[in-house]
Structure 1
Amino acid sequence: MQSSVLAFATDLIDEGADTFFGNLTDRAGVGGVTLASVYHEARDVFPHHPSRVLRYLEPGAAYFRPDPARWAGRRLAPVASTAIGDRDPFAEAADEARRRGLKLHAWTVFCHNDRLGFQHPDCAPANAFGDRHLTELCPADPEVRAYAHTLLDELARYGVDAIRAESLHFHGLRHGYHHERYFEQLGPVTEALLGLCFCPHCHSAATGRGVPAEDVRRVVAAEIRRRLDDERAAAEPGALDTLADGALAAYVDASAATVTSLAADLDEHARRLGMRLSFMDGGGPGTGWLSGIDLPALAKAGVGIETLGYAKSPEAVREKVAAFALHGVRPADLAVILRPMAEDCDGAANLAAKITVLRDLGVPEVEFYNYGLMRLSSMDRIGAALRG
């Protein structure tokens, strides 16, 4: 079973290669590092950082040195984080990983990019009223798709083994924007409808599949307005697939086809470049329909899946993996992320039991979240569990 720890490039820069890679090999005992290449805005606490405890990560920043020639004339282009200065942490990590016999994976956030969304609102998803979700990029937009393909070209030059593709899909209304506020109870149906994209590209894609997209948009806008006007209406459960005489479900299916085609195209492109691609599905089976995540379609297209195995017990991890089989995803096509921290694990034996479950089920890869966000004792827990 392959193993890796997810980490930020700032961990490598701040701690130095010897400490950073020494912790990965000597403490955690893993065979690889999954380094964030493009990442979203965040504020995190770093328990074992040598000089600081709190760090802010910049919105939609790149943690490699983009090649200007690849992005000439392009509106959507990665911007190197100010935190890396004039260094290229991906080049440094690639050299160290090769020297130490470790795999290097690129943890890449694609469509959750508020830097690019605010700079280019026309590339962001639009709700039924035309309001843009500026923390995101729309997977149906041709410029966004070209941006994603070129990111793979950039990362391939570092000798990356695998792309961990995060946010390669749509997002719902609530996705963690700073001071995001909802003082009236919207209800789950309102929130779901506000998360649907009706930008011109999604509108056109649905129309091309025979869906009356404009009719759906009008019905969705009217339903949202009805629920915003009346708190009793907001509390109604409602069946999304009955709105617009069932055409809404077809519209959502068109969104899923958009995501699947992008993932399949990138997977094929990654293979041509000598890399693997894993589609990071954070919610698990049955949770991603409105985000455009169609697990059976992704499996049929041959796209590997990476999912969160966050759970307290080995049995719960087993159930999470088993649920994927019901959606056509074999354990052999999965990578699973575990957390070694106390929130999920009460010790090395618990983590070892979860790893054993994954190995017995035939899951080939396990990753651990997250280097800088865990105590060194949690790193030791990984090493003890893998040895066990």
Structure 2
Amino acid sequence: MDSSLYVYVEDVRGEGLEAVLDRVAGYGVAGVTVAAACHGARDVTPHGRSRVTIRRDGVHFTPPEDLFGGLRLVPPVQEGAGQEPLAALRRATAERGLRLHGWTVFLRNTTLGLANPDVTVRNCFGDRGSPADLCPSHPDVRLYAVALGRAVARQGVDSVVAEALHFATFGHGHHPERGSVPLGPMDVFLLGLCFCDFCMRRASDLGVKAEVAREECARIAGGVLDGDPPAQGEVTRAALTAYAGPEVVAYARARSEVVTSLVSEVSAAVAAEGSRLVFLDATGWFKGQADGLPSAGLAAHDSWQLGVDLVALGDLVPSLGVFAYARDAARVADDVGAYRRSTGRHRELRVVLRPGLPDTDSADRLDAKVRAVRAAGGDAVDFYAYGLVPYPVLDRIPGALSG
């Protein structure tokens, strides 16, 4: 089974390229998925140069002038990018027979969002309250995404692993998040819908009454903010129809055209540079990242909430990546099986697992989840992430792969 280990450039810089690759090769994985373009975070890094690492928005290479010279949005450049860490990784992995994949965070960039608030998501009240989330409907954002995909592919990677190439959720639009109003899952969903001019125009072109949808969202969410009791239960199309009306559901579903067309453009650009796109659906991440206890709805069934149309994307991209962030191996199997049924057998299905907490507390549990991925039709298992877990946790990987 193909496999890869997610690695940050800071990991390599702190521990040394050869030392990191020696360890990676020892885990029995087939490749390295390096953060070529990432978003800001504060990470506990148990074996890093610093035990707490601050990551910033930006790319680990110099943005090519021919791709970004005429664009409004240009990615921030990470410190040390001039030393060409990706080129060094490309040479070293090739010498060891390892594949190199370019992990690319596309539409999550607080630096660009704060500097250009008009390209971010605008909620039903007209607020630009999610500066980390660039709107995939905005023309400047779409040009930026295509250029970024092409630029990472140009680094000589075997694939461009596309994270955040779809809509996001309200709960992760900025950090830290604070709120003392008890919002239900459907209220959070409504607050996460974008009603910028470009989103509303594209929905209207598809026959959706976009202004009616916005007004309904503002009425319902506004009522909860004023003290109405929030609705409980899972966000499903049927529940959302009953709660907010058919136009809101139609508006939410129309977002899939935005995402599908953008992924198509980025995939074509990546292919033109001699690489291929792996599209990451973050639904499983949103559902299970906090505690490994995702809600009952399977990720493949809920991906529409991010504007992801799995059937349409199955015809556009050669590879789909999914997050199986669940403690229970049976839940992992159910999620992977649902994705396999949605995408068919003709597309590669890569499954991201965490070898450590919060959802993997032992080598036996990791073994069981890797077996579940295989049994449910997954083609590859990728592990997240080298710098975030202690060495003894990483040492679980070879046994899980060989088992």
Fold-level similarity (TM above 0.5): yes
- Matched with 1:120 is 116
Q: Deviations over 1:37-87 (max 9, x none)?
A: 1111111111112x32001111x21122222342113211111112x2632
Q: Distance in 2 between matches of 1:138 and 1:303?
A: 24
CA contact (8 A) 1:24 1:30 kept: yes
- Matched with 1:223 is 220
2:52 to 51, 54, 65: 54
Deviation at 1:107, TM superposition (A): 0.8
1:358 to 366, 370, 373: 373
Determine helix, strand or coil for the equivalent of 1:33.
Answer: strand
Give the gaps of 5 or more residues in structure 1: none
- Matched with 2:182 is 185
Q: Deviations over 1:340-361 (max 9, x none)?
A: 1254445444433433333344
Deviation at 1:276, TM superposition (A): 2.0
Q: Deviations over 1:72-113 (max 9, x none)?
A: 13211111112x263221111111111111111011111111
Q: Distance in 2 between matches of 1:332 and 1:183?
A: 44
1:71 partnered with 2:68: yes
1:334–1:358: structure 2 CA closer, same or farther, 3 Å change rule? same
Q: Distance in 2 between matches of 1:248 and 1:12?
A: 46
1:289 to 304, 321, 340: 304
1:342–1:139: structure 2 CA closer, same or farther, 3 Å change rule? closer
Q: Which amino acid aligns with 1:256?
A: S
CA contact (8 A) 1:111 1:169 kept: yes
Determine helix, strand or coil for the equivalent of 1:78.
Answer: coil
1:108 partnered with 2:87: no
Q: Distance in 1 between matches of 2:390 and 2:198?
A: 45
Determine helix, strand or coil for the equivalent of 1:108.
Answer: strand
Determine helix, strand or coil for the equivalent of 2:170.
Answer: coil
Determine helix, strand or coil for the equivalent of 1:112.
Answer: coil
CA contact (8 A) 2:278 2:317 kept: no
Deviation at 1:274, TM superposition (A): 2.1
1:306 partnered with 2:321: yes
Q: What is the Cα-based RMSD across aligned positions, in Å?
A: 2.2
Deviation at 1:377, TM superposition (A): 1.5
CA contact (8 A) 2:59 2:81 kept: no
What pairs with 1:65-104 in structure 2 (closer than 5 Å)?
65-82=62-79, 84=80, 86-104=82-100
Q: Which amino acid aligns with 1:199?
A: C
1:272–1:215: structure 2 CA closer, same or farther, 3 Å change rule? same
Deviation at 1:119, TM superposition (A): 0.9
Q: Distance in 1 between matches of 2:10 and 2:180?
A: 36
| Count of matched residue pairs | 383
Q: Which amino acid aligns with 2:115?
A: Q
Q: Distance in 2 between matches of 1:158 and 1:73?
A: 21
- Matched with 1:261 is 261
- Matched with 2:273 is 273
CA contact (8 A) 2:163 2:281 kept: yes
1:169 partnered with 2:161: no
Q: Distance in 2 between matches of 1:225 and 1:351?
A: 44
Q: Distance in 2 between matches of 1:380 and 1:189?
A: 41
Determine helix, strand or coil for the equivalent of 2:132.
Answer: coil
CA contact (8 A) 2:277 2:317 kept: no
- Matched with 2:293 is none
CA contact (8 A) 1:325 1:331 kept: no
Q: Deviations over 1:333-387 (max 9, x none)?
A: 3100111125444544443343333334442221101000111122222123223
Q: Which amino acid aligns with 1:131?
A: D
Structure-1-length-normalised TM-score:
0.92
Calculate percent identity across the aligned residue pairs: 37
- Matched with 1:45 is 44
CA contact (8 A) 1:263 1:303 kept: no
- Matched with 1:29 is 28
What pairs with 1:133-144 in structure 2 (closer than 5 Å)?
133-144=130-141
- Matched with 2:333 is 318
CA contact (8 A) 1:215 1:244 kept: no
CA contact (8 A) 2:61 2:81 kept: no
1:350–1:185: structure 2 CA closer, same or farther, 3 Å change rule? closer
Give the gaps of 5 or more residues in structure 2: 284-298
Deviation >6 Å, runs of 4+:
none
1:334 partnered with 2:349: yes
Deviation at 1:170, TM superposition (A): 1.0
1:367–1:245: structure 2 CA closer, same or farther, 3 Å change rule? closer
Q: Which amino acid aligns with 1:175?
A: H
1:289–1:342: structure 2 CA closer, same or farther, 3 Å change rule? closer
Q: Which amino acid aligns with 1:55?
A: T
Q: Distance in 2 between matches of 1:245 and 1:85?
A: 49
CA contact (8 A) 2:60 2:81 kept: no
CA contact (8 A) 2:220 2:244 kept: no
Q: Which amino acid aligns with 2:146?
A: H
